């Protein structure tokens, strides 16, 4: 891991390569679905990027509001904007449609309700070029649905030095959540999505980024993260990731299963691989108890009970590859109760305790 003295001034410099010098094409993939309120601000920001050699790929995922028409208007204004209209298949399918058609040397993703800084693409591409990296990541800020700043500072979004990581170091940080997995916080060479780990987003689930970003990095050799906030991430009430959404539990189960099945294929040092196994095994146990609490609350009772049993069987199958002594004490106790088939009783007690305390199950 190589730390470099921050060079925020150079990263924020307004100097660009002369127009006579060809610049590598960057494919910016934007899934669009029912965001007519926010889409113009996003597209204005992309068209106004200091890095101009772009193909802006708008994947209209069957929008039922005015989003599709807005996409077409911007495509008529700027030849760099390309629109693909498809039936509604979800954000992952929209991103995959963009990946299948992308022509750029580099690829990045933007969510249609967010606002990238005008130097967003420039910062990422220059970071990769300057540090001989095939993937780069940046800091970001949060805004609410009205565009007002929100103070949210996770530790992995507060770094203030330029750091370069080799493949193994980057994978460990991403898989242990010390680096974000948001697709829009990265840019990568297009070869990372079409290498040995053919990378596409899993369709039909939420939290698809956690199942994808690390696989792109697995195709690379070097990542640089840059201490510059050049992206505004919008938090909207009622979004998929807002509130107590059962789909989040399902997405977590799918991601844990994929990672636990493939971590040994990543070529990581065994100590790091075991840390990763333990992390996702712990999440799997937490999902089991969440499903049981859902059953106790009668919100998803029969289905949740069946899924809880399935997660228990998954955990049993992975347990032989887990160093249980590395798990936190509470997780070890919960795991033992699962093995003894006592977890439903514990989950019911937890549910009643939360109910008495006025906490949603």
| Mean pLDDT of successive 10-residue stretches along the chain, which has 361 residues | 51 43 86 98 98 98 98 99 98 97 97 98 98 97 94 76 97 93 97 88 89 95 96 82 72 95 95 98 94 64 82 96 97 94 83 68 46
Residue 361, pLDDT score: 46
In this structure, the answer to whether residues 171 and 258 fall within a common structural domain is no
Instruction: Determine whether 135 is exposed, middle or buried from the number of CB atoms within 10 Å of its CB (0-12, 13-18, 19+).
Output: buried
Range of the domain at 250: 246-356
In this structure, the answer to whether residues 229 and 274 fall within a common structural domain is no
Residue 174, pLDDT score: 95
Q: Is 240 part of any domain?
A: no
Q: Is 18 part of any domain?
A: yes
Residue 353, pLDDT score: 77
Number of domains in the chain: 2
Q: Per residue in 40-57, is it b (16+ CB within 10 Å) or e — as a string?
A: ebbbebbbebbbebbbbb
Q: Is 239 part of any domain?
A: no
Residue 151, pLDDT score: 86
In this structure, the answer to whether residues 143 and 87 fall within a common structural domain is yes
Last residue of a domain, one of 188, 211, 234: 234
In this structure, the answer to whether residues 251 and 184 fall within a common structural domain is no
In this structure, the answer to whether residues 328 and 228 fall within a common structural domain is no
Q: At 182, list the tokens.
A: 């948001």
Residues 91/10, Cβ–Cβ less than 8 Å: no
> In sequence order, which residues have a C-beta less than 8 Å from that of residue 239 and are 6 or more positions away?
none
In this structure, the answer to whether residues 41 and 152 fall within a common structural domain is yes
In this structure, the answer to whether residues 152 and 220 fall within a common structural domain is yes
> In sequence order, which residues have a C-beta less than 8 Å from that of residue 329 and are 6 or more positions away?
none
In this structure, the answer to whether residues 89 and 28 fall within a common structural domain is yes
In this structure, the answer to whether residues 164 and 273 fall within a common structural domain is no
In this structure, the answer to whether residues 83 and 212 fall within a common structural domain is yes
Q: Is 112 part of any domain?
A: yes
In this structure, the answer to whether residues 182 and 258 fall within a common structural domain is no
In this structure, the answer to whether residues 317 and 218 fall within a common structural domain is no
Residue 84, pLDDT score: 98
Residue with tokens 């967010």: 114
Last residue of a domain, one of 234, 261, 283: 234
Question: For position 223, which CATH number holds?
Answer: 3.90.550.10
Residue 9, pLDDT score: 40
Q: Is 265 part of any domain?
A: yes
């Amino acid at each position: 891991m190589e730390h470099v003295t921050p060079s925020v001034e150079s990263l924020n410099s307004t100097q660009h390569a002369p127009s006579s010098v060809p610049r590598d094409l960057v494919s910016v993939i934007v899934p669009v679905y029912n965001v007519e309120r926010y889409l113009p601000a996003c597209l204005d920001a992309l068209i106004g990027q200091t890095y101009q050699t772009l193909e802006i790929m708008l994947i209209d995922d069957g929008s039922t509001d005015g989003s599709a028409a807005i996409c077409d208007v911007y495509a008529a204004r700027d030849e760099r904007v390309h629109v693909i209209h498809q039936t509604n298949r979800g954000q992952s399918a929209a991103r995959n449609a963009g990946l299948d058609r992308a022509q750029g040397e580099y690829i990045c993703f933007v969510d249609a309700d967010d606002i990238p800084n005008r130097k967003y693409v420039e910062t990422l591409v220059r970071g990769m070029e300057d540090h001989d990296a095939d993937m780069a990541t940046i800091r970001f800020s949060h805004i609410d649905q009205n565009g007002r700043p929100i103070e949210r500072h996770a530790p992995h979004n507060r770094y203030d030095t330029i750091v370069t990581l080799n493949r193994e170091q980057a994978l460990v940080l991403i898989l242990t959540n010390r680096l974000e997995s948001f697709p829009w916080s990265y840019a990568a060479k297009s070869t990372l999505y079409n290498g040995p780990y053919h990378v596409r987003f899993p369709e039909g689930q939420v939290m698809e980024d956690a199942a994808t970003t690390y696989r792109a990095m697995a195709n690379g050799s070097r990542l640089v993260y840059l201490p510059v906030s050049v992206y505004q991430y919008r938090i909207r009430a009622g979004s998929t990731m807002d509130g107590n959404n059962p789909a989040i539990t399902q997405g977590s189960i799918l991601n844990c299963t994929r990672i636990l099945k493939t971590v040994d294929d990543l070529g990581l040092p065994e100590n790091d691989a075991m840390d990763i196994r333990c992390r996702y095994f712990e999440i799997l146990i937490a999902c089991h108890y969440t499903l049981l609490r859902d059953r106790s609350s009668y919100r998803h009772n029969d289905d949740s009970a069946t899924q809880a049993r399935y997660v228990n069987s998954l955990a049993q199958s992975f347990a032989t590859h887990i160093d249980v002594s590395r798990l936190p004490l509470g997780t070890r106790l919960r795991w033992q109760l699962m093995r003894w088939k006592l977890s439903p009783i514990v989950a019911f007690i937890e549910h009643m305790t939360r109910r008495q305390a006025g906490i949603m199950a």
